[in-house]
A and B are shown apart, each in its own frame.
Chain A
Amino acid sequence: MAAITERDVRSSVAATASAATVCSPVIHYLAWVTALTVFPLIWAGGLVTTTKAGMAVPDWPGTYGYNMFLYPWETWFFGPWDLFIEHGHRLLGSLAGIWCIGLVVLSWSLRTPSVVRWMSLAALALVILQGVMGGVRVLQVDREVARIHGCLGPAFFAFLAVLVVVTSRWWQAAAERGFWLSRTEDESGTRVGARAELLRLRAAMLRTLQNQRYVTLTLWALAYLQLVFGASMRHVPETADPYYFRILVWFHVVGAVCVGVAAVILSFTRGCPVPGLCWPRRLLLGAVVLQIVLGLGTWVMRYNFPDWFANELFAQAHLIVSNDFYQVQIVSAHVALGSFILAVGAFSAARIWRAEHGLRTVE
C-alpha cells in the first residue's frame, strides 16, 4: 500500500495557505471571556425572575438617579437582595456589552476572516437589543417584554458559543488536509492509503456527521421551544386563566420527553470520527439528563409533590419556603442549564458542520 505521496502533502499545504486568513487567538480568547461572562449573567437573570426582583430598580439606564456605574457600591453590595441581584444583573450585562465592543474593535482592526467580523458586529447588536429590552421591561412594567428578554438572552449565549467555535484554531484546522490525514488511519494504526478505501471511509464519516448534525439541530430546536414555554410559564400574567398555564405545563412536559428522545437518538449516532466532536456531545447528553431532573426538582420546590405521594412522609413533611436558598437555586439552575444546553448544542452543531465542510472540501 503506497503511503501518502509527497505531492499530496504539498497540495495540502498550498490549500492551507490559500484558505481564509487565520483568526487571531486574542479574538478567540475574548470570545471565550464573553461567553463565560454571559453564563453567570443568564444565571443572575434567572435569579431576578425567580425572586421577582426585576422591578427593584425603577429607572433605567440609571440606578436610582445615579449613573449605573457610579452607584455607590456598598449600598449595592450590602443592600437588600432585590437591589443586589437586579443592579448586579445590569452591571454584568454591561460587562458583556463591553466585551462585545472589544470583539468588534479587535476583529475589525486585526486581520480577521469576514465571518468573524460580521458575527462580532451581530453579537454587539444583540447585546444592545437585549439591554434595551431589559430597560423597556422595567420602564413599561411589562411582563411580555420580560418574556422576550428571557428568550433572547439564551439565544445570544448560543450565538456566542458559535463565535467561540468559529474563532478557534480547531475551526481553522478542520479545513486543513493535515487534520484529515491522520483520520485515515484505521484502528490497528496501519495506514489505509488506497484511494478507494479512503473514499469509502470518507463517505462513512460524512454519513455519521450528517446524522449527528440533524439530531443535534433537532435537539437544539426542541430545547429552544422548551425555553420559550418555560419563559412563558415564568412570566405568566397573574390574570391568566389556570387553563392557559395548564396547557403550557403540558407542552413543557411533552417537550421534555421529546428532548429526551432526541438525546437518546443522539447517543445512538455512535462514532466520533473527529476529535473535538465527542466531548461536546457527551456534555450535551449529560446536561439534558440533569436538566430533566432539575425540572422535576423545580416543580417540587415550587408546588410540592403531586397527589401520588399523598401518603409518603417526605411529601407530606415537605414545606415550600418562598425564596429560600434551595428553591431559588434549583429553579434558577434549571433556567441556566437550559441556556447551557442551547450553547453546547450550538457549539456542537457548529463543529459538526465545519467537520463536514472540511471533509468535503479537502481532497
Chain B
Amino acid sequence: MLKHSLVWWLLGERCPWSARVAVLAGRWAVCGRDLVCLLSVVVAVGCTPPAEFGDNSLEWYKQERAARLEPGQGFPEVHRQDVSDITRVWFGTPDAPQLPLLEGEDDPALELLDMGKLAWAAGPVVSRNEESSQGLYRRHCAHCHGVTGDGRGPTSAFLSPYPRDFRLGKFKFKSSPTGTPPTKDDLKTILVNGIPGTSMPSFRLLQDEELDVLVDYVIYLSQRGMVERFLIAAVRELDEDARLVSLPDAARLRDLPLDVQLGPLQRVAPVGGESAADRDSAADADSVGGSEADAKAGADEDDGSESDGGSGAKADVSYDRDKIADDLLFLAEEQMLPVLEKWLGILDFEAKEVDVPAWVLDSRDAAYESQVALGQKLYFGAANCVQCHGETGIGDGQTNNYDDWTNDWLKVEGINPTDAAAWAPYVNAGAHPPRPIMPRNLRLGVYRGGNRPIDIFRRIQYGIEGTPMPASLTLTEEQIWALVAYVQQLPYETLSRPETAKKLENERPVR
C-alpha cells in the first residue's frame, strides 16, 4: 500500500503499477542522490552537482529503438562519448560557452550571436558589480527549461504545458513560417509578454539588455541541441567499431590537447567572462586531468604530465592530428552547418508586411458583418477549424493529438500514448509522460501568442509550429482576416446562436 502511494507521488498520472515501478527504478538512480542530500541536512555541503550539459539520453534511446537493437543492447559507449565530446568541443560548457567558428573571427555566426552576451547569460549566478548579475539563464530560466535547455528543469514535471525543450529548434509563437526559426524579435516578444495561461513568465521587469542576452542564449542552446541530435543520428549509421573521428580504440577526444580537438575550428574566447573561463579551466583541470598543461605542451605525448584514472591513458594515445582535423571539418560541414545556416537565415528574414484591414478593428464598419459571416463559413468549411476547435469553438474537437516534442519519440515505435507500460522506458530515458495537446478554447478571448489581430493572423497563417494547429496554405490573406474577425467575436457570440449557447452550458469539455 505504502509502496503504491509512493509511486503514485512520483508519477501522479493514471498508469499501471508495473510501469510506475519501472519508472521509479529508473528515476531513483537519478534523484537518489538528491534525496540523500535532502536527508543529510548537516553534511550537505558539496551536494550541489556541477552544472553540465546533459547528454540527450532520450534521443539515444529513441535511435536505439529506431535501429531495432535488442532491448538492453545499446550503441557502443564510445559513440556516446564521441558525441558528447564533439558537442563539448564545439559548444563548450554551461560555464564557458563557445561557438564552432569555421571562419574564425569573421564567422557569420558571430553576427547572430555575441560571445560577450553568451558569457553573460552562462555560468552560475554571481555579480561582479552593483548593476547586474552574471548567469542570467540559470537565474531566471534553468529551473524550468533545464541547464541544457531540454525542458527538464526541476520544476518541469508538474507544469502543463511542459516547459519548452529548445533542442528541437521549434518555437510556437513567431512571425516566420513553419520550419523557419523565430527571429530575435519574436523571442524577445515572448520574453517580454510571457505566455498567459501557462507557467512561462513575462520578464518585462528585466533590463532590455538582459533580454537580448537571454535571447542569444536560447538560440545558442537550441543550436547546440539540434547539432547534438544530428550527431546522434549520424552515429546510428556507423558500424559498431567505426568512430566519428579517427581515434584509436577507447581514446577520447576531450583528452586530447585543445588545438587538436578544435582542428580547423577557431576558438574565440568569450569576452567579459574572465572568471567563468577561469572556472572552466579549473574544472577542466580536475575533470580532464591537466588538459590545459597538455594544450601548452602541444602534442608532446611524453610530456610526463601526471596521469590519473581515465586521463592516464591519453599519454600513450597515438593519433593523427590532421586526420582528426579532417574528420571534424567533415562532420561540421555535414551536421553543423545546416543547423547554423538555418538560424543565420533569421538575420535577413523580414516578416511580410501585412496591413490590418480597418473592419477587423471596428465592428461598426459596414464590411464587418459580412466578413464575420465569411469567417464562419471558412471555420466550418474550407479551413476546417471545426475539426479541432469544435462546433462551439471551445476546443472540444480532436483532443487526442500530441505535440511534436512528444510525437518525436512517440512515433518511432508507434507507441500508444495511453499505454503507460509502452512509454515508461522512454520516460526513463528522459521524456516527460505524454499529454495530449488541447486545441485552444476560442471562447475565452485570450491567446497565448498575443491578443492583437496581427498575432492571431500569424497563428492562422503559419499555424503554430510544433503543434497540430496547421498553417493555412490555401487561404488568401483576405480569408485569413475574415477568420481573425470570426475568432475574435467568438467570445461574444453566445446570444446570436442559441443552440451553441445551450451546448456551451451543458457540455464544458473535461480534460
Interface residues of A (CB under 8 A from B): 52, 54-58, 64, 75, 79-80, 82-83, 140-145, 147-148, 151, 228, 232, 236-251, 302-304, 306-308, 310-311, 313, 315-324
Query: Are A322 and B203 in touch, CB under 8 angstroms?
Result: yes
Residue from B34, B131, B138 in contact with A238 in the complex, judged by beta carbons closer than 8 Å? B138
Q: In whole angstroms, what is the CA distance A355 to B332 when docked?
A: 78
Query: Are A244 and B31 in touch, CB under 8 angstroms?
Result: yes
User: Which chain A residue lies CB-closest to B443?
Assistant: A311
User: Which chain B residue lies CB-closest to A312?
Assistant: B444
Q: In whole angstroms, what is the CA distance A242 to B12 when docked?
A: 13
Query: Are A238 and B128 in touch, CB under 8 angstroms?
Result: no
The 6 closest A-B pairs by CB, nearest first: A242-B157, A244-B31, A238-B142, A245-B154, A316-B197, A322-B201
Query: Are A144 and B130 in touch, CB under 8 angstroms?
Result: no
Q: In whole angstroms, what is the CA distance A311 to B390 when docked?
A: 14
Query: Are A310 and B199 in touch, CB under 8 angstroms?
Result: no
Residue from B44, B49, B158, B202 in contact with A246 in the complex, judged by beta carbons closer than 8 Å? B158
Tell me the smallest distance from the CB of A144 to a CB of chain B, in Å: 4
16 contacts between A and B (CB under 8 A): A82-B127, A83-B130, A142-B45, A144-B48, A236-B155, A238-B51, A238-B153, A239-B49, A241-B31, A241-B34, A242-B156, A243-B27, A245-B154, A313-B444, A318-B197, A321-B205
Q: In whole angstroms, what is the CA distance A310 to B396 when docked?
A: 12
Tell me the smallest distance from the CB of A239 to a CB of chain B, in Å: 5
Query: Are B46 and A144 in touch, CB under 8 angstroms?
Result: yes
Tell me the smallest distance from the CB of A211 to a CB of chain B, in Å: 29
Residue of A228, A244, A313 with most partner-chain B CB within 10 A: A244
Of the stretches B35-43, B171-179, B237-245, B346-354, the one at the interface is: B35-43
Residue from B128, B152, B195, B200 in contact with A242 in the complex, judged by beta carbons closer than 8 Å? B152
User: Which chain A residue lies CB-closest to B130?
Assistant: A83
Write out the residue numbers on chain B whose beta carbons fall within 8 Å of the beta carbon of A79. Answer: 130
Write out the residue numbers on chain B whose beta carbons fall within 8 Å of the beta carbon of A311. Answer: 394-395, 441, 444, 508-509
Q: In whole angstroms, what is the CA distance A263 to B154 when docked?
A: 31
- Asked if B367 is an interface residue, CB under 8 A from chain A, the answer is no
- Asked if B400 is an interface residue, CB under 8 A from chain A, the answer is no
Query: Are B128 and A58 in touch, CB under 8 angstroms?
Result: yes
- With known contacts A82-B133, A245-B155, A316-B444, A239–B52 Cβ distance under 8 A: yes
Residue from A54, A144, A243, A303 in contact with B10 in the complex, judged by beta carbons closer than 8 Å? A243
Write out the residue numbers on chain B whose beta carbons fall within 8 Å of the beta carbon of A147. Answer: 44
- With known contacts A145-B45, A243-B31, A238–B143 Cβ distance under 8 A: yes
What 0/1 pattern do residues 486 to 511 of B give for CB contact below 8 A with A? 00000000000000000000001101
Query: Are A142 and B48 in touch, CB under 8 angstroms?
Result: yes
Residue from A228, A240, A302, A322 in contact with B154 in the complex, judged by beta carbons closer than 8 Å? A240
Write out the residue numbers on chain B whose beta carbons fall within 8 Å of the beta carbon of A143. Answer: 48
Query: Are B199 and A304 in touch, CB under 8 angstroms?
Result: yes
Interface residues of B (CB under 8 A from A): 9-10, 12, 27, 30-31, 34-35, 37-38, 41-42, 44-52, 124-133, 138-140, 142-143, 146-147, 152-160, 193-206, 394-395, 432, 438, 441, 444-446, 508-509, 511
Write out the residue numbers on chain A whose beta carbons fall within 8 Å of the beta carbon of B128. Answer: 58
Residue from A57, A75, A142, A319 in contact with B127 in the complex, judged by beta carbons closer than 8 Å? A57
Write out the residue numbers on chain A whose beta carbons fall within 8 Å of the beta carbon of B200. Answer: 320
Q: In whole angstroms, what is the CA distance A310 to B156 when docked?
A: 18
Query: Are A239 and B10 in touch, CB under 8 angstroms?
Result: no
User: Which chain B residue lies CB-closest to A245?
Assistant: B154
User: Which chain B residue lies CB-closest to A53?
Assistant: B133
User: Which chain A residue lies CB-closest to B195?
Assistant: A319
Tell me the smallest distance from the CB of A230 to a CB of chain B, in Å: 12
Query: Are A58 and B153 in touch, CB under 8 angstroms?
Result: no
Query: Are A144 and B444 in touch, CB under 8 angstroms?
Result: no
Write out the residue numbers on chain B whose beta carbons fall within 8 Å of the beta carbon of A83. Answer: 130
- With known contacts A55-B126, A79-B130, A238-B51, A304–B197 Cβ distance under 8 A: yes
Write out the residue numbers on chain B whose beta carbons fall within 8 Å of the beta carbon of A151. Answer: 41
Query: Are A243 and B125 in touch, CB under 8 angstroms?
Result: no
Residue from A148, A239, A248, A313 in contact with B147 in the complex, judged by beta carbons closer than 8 Å? A239
Residue of A54, A56, A239, A249 with most partner-chain B CB within 10 A: A239
Q: In whole angstroms, what is the CA distance A247 to B36 when docked?
A: 13
Query: Are A245 and B194 in touch, CB under 8 angstroms?
Result: no
Write out the residue numbers on chain B whose beta carbons fall within 8 Å of the beta carbon of A75. Answer: 130
Query: Are B45 and A243 in touch, CB under 8 angstroms?
Result: no
- With known contacts A247-B31, A320-B200, A320-B202, A242–B155 Cβ distance under 8 A: yes
Write out the residue numbers on chain A whose beta carbons fall within 8 Å of the beta carbon of B143. Answer: 236, 238
Q: In whole angstroms, what is the CA distance A156 to B1 when docked?
A: 39
- With known contacts A242-B154, A242-B157, A311-B394, A237–B49 Cβ distance under 8 A: yes
User: Which chain A residue lies CB-closest to B125?
Assistant: A55
Query: Are B38 and A232 in touch, CB under 8 angstroms?
Result: yes
Write out the residue numbers on chain A whose beta carbons fall within 8 Å of the beta carbon of B38. Answer: 232, 248
Q: In whole angstroms, what is the CA distance A306 to B455 when docked?
A: 26
Query: Are A244 and B34 in touch, CB under 8 angstroms?
Result: yes
Query: Are A319 and B52 in touch, CB under 8 angstroms?
Result: no
Query: Are A246 and B12 in touch, CB under 8 angstroms?
Result: yes
Query: Are B41 and A148 in touch, CB under 8 angstroms?
Result: yes
User: Which chain B residue lies CB-closest to A87?
Assistant: B130
Q: In whole angstroms, what is the CA distance A236 to B198 when docked?
A: 21
Query: Are A237 and B154 in touch, CB under 8 angstroms?
Result: yes
User: Which chain B residue lies CB-closest to A143?
Assistant: B48
Query: Are A306 and B160 in touch, CB under 8 angstroms?
Result: yes
Query: Are A313 and B160 in touch, CB under 8 angstroms?
Result: no
User: Which chain A residue lies CB-closest to B206?
Assistant: A322
- With known contacts A144-B46, A311-B394, A311-B441, A80–B202 Cβ distance under 8 A: no
Query: Are B34 and A240 in touch, CB under 8 angstroms?
Result: yes
Write out the residue numbers on chain B whose beta carbons fall within 8 Å of the beta carbon of A238. Answer: 51, 138, 142-143, 146-147, 153-154
Q: In whole angstroms, what is the CA distance A311 to B196 when docked?
A: 13
Write out the residue numbers on chain A whose beta carbons fall within 8 Å of the beta carbon of B44. Answer: 144, 147-148
User: Which chain B residue lies CB-closest to A247?
Assistant: B9
Q: In whole angstroms, what is the CA distance A15 to B126 when docked?
A: 61
Tell me the smallest distance from the CB of B168 to a CB of chain A, in Å: 18
Q: In whole angstroms, what is the CA distance A324 to B204 when docked?
A: 9
Write out the residue numbers on chain A whose beta carbons fall within 8 Å of the beta carbon of B193. Answer: 319
User: Which chain B residue lies CB-closest to A238?
Assistant: B142
Residue from A64, A246, A302 in contact with B157 in the complex, judged by beta carbons closer than 8 Å? A246
Query: Are A244 and B154 in touch, CB under 8 angstroms?
Result: yes
Query: Are A64 and B130 in touch, CB under 8 angstroms?
Result: yes
Q: In whole angstroms, what is the CA distance A307 to B160 when docked?
A: 7
Tell me the smallest distance from the CB of A54 to a CB of chain B, in Å: 8
Write out the residue numbers on chain B whose beta carbons fall within 8 Å of the beta carbon of A56. Answer: 127, 130, 133
Q: In whole angstroms, what is the CA distance A310 to B509 when docked?
A: 9
Residue from A247, A250, A308, A317 in contact with B197 in the complex, judged by beta carbons closer than 8 Å? A317
Residue of B52, B146, B199, B438 with most partner-chain A CB within 10 A: B199
Q: In whole angstroms, what is the CA distance A57 to B128 when docked?
A: 8
Write out the residue numbers on chain A whose beta carbons fall within 8 Å of the beta carbon of B133. Answer: 55-56, 82
- With known contacts A247-B35, A321-B202, A58–B126 Cβ distance under 8 A: yes
Q: In whole angstroms, what is the CA distance A242 to B10 when docked?
A: 10
Tell me the smallest distance from the CB of A130 to a CB of chain B, in Å: 15
Query: Are B198 and A304 in touch, CB under 8 angstroms?
Result: yes
Query: Are A52 and B125 in touch, CB under 8 angstroms?
Result: yes
Query: Are A55 and B127 in touch, CB under 8 angstroms?
Result: yes
User: Which chain B residue lies CB-closest to A327?
Assistant: B201
Query: Are B9 and A246 in touch, CB under 8 angstroms?
Result: yes
